[in-house]
Amino acid sequence: MLRDAFGPTLRRRRLNEGVSLEQIAAETKIPIELLVALEDNDLSQWPVGIYARAYIRQYASAVGLDTEEIVDEFCRMYPQGDRRMRPVVVRHAAIVSHATTWDDDLPESLNGVDRRGALPEADPAPVVRQAPSAFHAMMGRLRRAFGRA
C-alpha cells in the first residue's frame, strides 16, 4: 500500500462495509475530526506513539480489517507510530558500524520532545571503525545469504 493511499484505502473499506464515521467514533471514542483527517491522510493533529497505534487498531477493528497488519503498515509509513524508533535505529547502526541518515519525519514541534516526562535520550556511542574479524565477515555473509543484511 502506498502512503498516499493509506487513508483513502481505509475509507474505501469502511464504505464497503457500510460503517459510518459516526459509528466508529461512538464505538471507539475517537473524535470524528481525527477519523476524517485519517481518511484524508492528514495526521498533523493525530497523537503519536501508543495512542496513534491504538486509534489505528480500533479503526481497523471497526471496519473488519486485520488489526495487526494495518498497525504494522501504519508504523512503516508513518514514523510517528513510534517516537522511540530513532534511538534504536541509531544505536543499532553504531553497533554494526553503519552510517545512518535516519529522519523521524515528525512535525518540528514534536521532534525530540517526550511529552511523558521521561529522561532525555542518551547520545549514541561514537562509531569506532575496526577491520572486520573473520567471525564478523562470516556473520555478514550469513545475514546477506538469509536476507537480513
* CATH number of this structure's domain 3-81: 1.10.260.40
Going from the C-alpha of 42 to that of each of 7, 16, 92, 102, 133, the distances in angstroms are: 9, 22, 31, 22, 48
Q: In a 3-state reduction of DSSP, which class is residue 11?
A: helix
- pLDDT for the residue numbered 149: 46
- pLDDT for the residue numbered 87: 67
- pLDDT for the residue numbered 53: 87
What cell was used for 7? 487513508
Going from the C-alpha of 47 to that of each of 37, 52, 83, 98, 121, the distances in angstroms are: 12, 5, 11, 31, 20
- Distance between CA atoms of residues 41 and 11, nearest Å: 10
2: left (phi over 0), alpha (psi -120 to 50) or beta: beta
Residues listed for the chain: 149
| Domain boundary assignment for the chain | 3-81, 85-145
What's the DSSP call for residue 5? G
- What is the value of pTM for the model shown? 0.55
- pLDDT for the residue numbered 49: 79
Q: In a 3-state reduction of DSSP, which class is residue 24?
A: helix
- pLDDT for the residue numbered 130: 61
Predicted confidence pLDDT, tens digits, the chain (149 residues):
677 888 999 999 999 999 999 999 999 999 999 999 999 988 888 887 788 889 999 999 999 999 888 888 888 787 666 545 666 667 767 787 777 665 555 455 554 555 445 545 555 556 555 666 777 777 878 888 887 54
